[in-house]
Structure 1
Amino acid sequence: MMTKPTQEFSPVELGERLRVARESASVTQDAAAKAAGIGRTTLVAIEKGQRSARPSELQVLSRHYGISVNSLLRREAVHVDLIPRFRSLPENEDQGIVEAARVLNDLVRAEVELENVLGVHRLRNYPAEKTLLPGDIRAQAEQDAQSLRNWLGLGEGPVQDLISLMELQLGLRVYSRKLDPKVSGLFAYDDEVGACILINSSHRRDRRNQTGAHELGHFIATRRHPEVYQDEKYENSREERYANAFGRAFLTPARAVMEKFKELTTGSSHLTRRHIILLAHYFGVSRQAMVLRLEELELTKKGTWEWFKDNGGITDAQVRQVIGEQAEVLYTAEDTQSSRLFLLAIDAWKKDLISEGQMAEMLKLGRPKVRELLDEAEAEEDEVDDLFKLS
């Protein structure tokens, strides 16, 4: 790929790229200025485009930010600017959140850059954004969730693959990577790159589903507000209550839950652990989320989940007894590549547009994992008959 000379950039554009690179690297203006041997006021002037950066300053600053000058000046380079939005949140001092925001920013930037290099345009299938109305926020979330299900043609059944639905049907940018255990997911929206979601891949599958549905709620009604989801933390804001209610309603629609509950409990005199396990597995949510949804729909008494907790809970061993080998899927960490991002990277690698090392950096994966994925992709292609070649 060709490097774009500095003189082709306006001082404002170059200054903006330097600012984004600095903030992505969590470097203060004072530290950057000191590294470059200039005053902080000079650095501020450079970032605002009021003064052009000299080649020697670009070399030092880019090295201090952990990027190459070539990457900074490359024509196809995309400088996505999501991180400052998360820093404005109350949790901005939490290092786990700062790191997760950086990962999301880097993955979005990599995907957009690959799209530009390959000449691919991402199609969006976004429904109109909802406005939070006065009144019962839970009732609105239920209605909005059902409307989205109808719009997507899902009917009343369980969502088989929420990540693929968001990524392929809606056109959202969805990624999963191992994050700080306290961080379940992040959501951000940008007019240029669209809606972006990062989910903690080290969490159980049912928890990842709930995180995805929660973030989908933010996309539907509050998409211009960045959000960090920590489901051990309970927020009282209307936005959080809406997202929580939307996620429950989208994954466990009321009518479907009522019908399945009736089907499973017919002939039973009491609600049992087996009933909960089967319902939770069918809808792809946690046992706790399933019981709380039954309480919410008045299919069981308030306090049912607390009773289970006080009486030994519903254990993983009991789940294995009821659903057998399928239980292992719940406890396995998700593969860490986004299907679309990985396919774009594979395509660019095959066309010699990026190296294996660049691919590892873009995907935020180790070289051994990237080599394993490349070997799998090549093996799959070798097995395919010429009849199925794409023109």
Structure 2
Amino acid sequence: MAPLSILVVGASIAGPAFASFLLLSDLGARITLLERAPGVRPEGQNIDLRGQGLHCAWRLGLEKTIRANLTGEKGVVWVNEQNQAIASIPASKPGEAQGPTADVEMLRGTLAKLVVERCEKLSEQSKSMGGGEVEFIYGDYVAELEQDGDSVRVRFANSKRQRKFDLVAGADGLQSRTRRQAFGTEGEAERLQKLGIYGGFFSTQRGVMLRPSDRPGKTTVFMHVKTDDKRLTDVTVGSKGVAAQQALLRETFSDAGWHMDRLLKEMDLTDDFYYDMIAQVKMDRWSKGRVVLIGDAAGTSLALTGAYNLAGALAQYPHDLQAAFDQYEETQRPPLGKAQSLSPLVKLIFSLDTAWQVWLANCLVAFLSHIMSMFKLIFHFAGPSGVEADMREYAFRMPPEDL
């Protein structure tokens, strides 16, 4: 039978990682990687890799390269409104209870660049050996998607081309257009469970230590607010753009004290501003017909494990998509369910609505910081998920680090 033709929508992390794992299998698929942006998106907040996510990076031959591009974050310092440090939490090492800072911290844009470059090199190598390859298309997106049972017919928006694929994999994030096209817009309100939290990410010239960057002279900033103000939802979609998003953050934080005057000025000058809601996508099933979703909106480690598990399932069942999707669900559901269970720690951080609650939280954190064993116990039960469960092994080739 002819090799599978696969369209992957989204070239951030999950999409190119999925394509790379397919190239490392014996599937020989013809892969098209589609990205709406004109190139790899450089923006994004600090992210971490833990547990299975770090294992997937190793399976791509990227662990050493990733460790050479870390931000250097050593932990978290909790300060009060007078900028006085009241607690210090060191970075978590592998195998320890996972705190807010992991052993591997880097910028999302940096990781995306590394994963795309690895995918490009694997494609060149695979093509030279007569195997599958990846066609990269930037600056376009899917305007129409229609399934007929035997294939998926796709019309591209900008090029106007129409093509057929055996499979479409959506890795286009929280606001996934692929999800709405395949599953319908009528159920989107139930699938996208908003947490009422909105955040803006950008970088600023170093002067106030917030979060380190891998780029000399810059520090990354994350502003967030929990609110039921619908204006903050409205500016996540449509054409209102960065100016409207920054205006709302400026209004929200203008009287917050601390270093906010400085940071708001830097926000206006930055060239890597990014804004979105913080939400969870919850679905009973991640596939419909010949369209399947990869968890690029579920966190970096889960984006990589989703790419790994879906590619492995397709390599095992190349001519039975239903069986492949069933196995993908079986392997990916447990770690995702654990990661989507909001810990008490996260709820505390995002639920400080009054000065009294902030004062009480500061006192609690200051007390616990003097009893590090208590902190470790809390993080063991309520900290970030390391996605540590055993992974199913697939017959992927192991690429060298210096590919």
Q: TM-score, normalized by length of structure 1?
A: 0.25
Which protein is richer in strand relative to its size? 2
- The structure number with the bigger radius of gyration is 1
Q: Which has the higher contact order (CA 8 A, sep 6+)?
A: 2
Q: Normalized per residue, which structure has more helix? A: 1
Q: When the two structures are superposed, what TM-score results if normalisation uses the length of structure 2?
A: 0.25
